[in-house]
Amino acid sequence: MTSPTDRRFLHRFRVELPGWCLKDVSFLSWVIGFGGHVKVVKPDGLIDTVYEVGLDIVEIYEGKAEGKE
């Protein structure tokens, strides 16, 4: 691994997992559970999923989600 380019994320964790993990709820919960302390760099599908979940959370707290209360 090369040196980190983003100084906010100095510690790296690299793992190779089978493709089905990208659709596994437990795996996604684990990754997303790190909140703002994790940055996914590969694969694009996981980056997109984490990004979409983050947007959904922001929308809920901004009151923009459908069915807002």
Number of domains in the chain: 1
- The answer to whether 64 and 43 are in contact (CB under 8 A) is no
Residue range of the domain that includes 17: 1-69
The pLDDT value given to residue 66 = 64
Average pLDDT over residues 20-35: 93
Rounded percentage of the chain residues whose pLDDT exceeds 70: 86
> Rounded to 5, what percent of the chain is helix, strand, coil?
50, 0, 50
> Could you give the count of Cα atoms lying within 13 Å of 8 in the half-sphere of its Cβ?
5
- State the Cα–Cα distance between residues 9 and 65, nearest whole angstrom: 30
Higher per-residue pLDDT: 10 or 18:
18
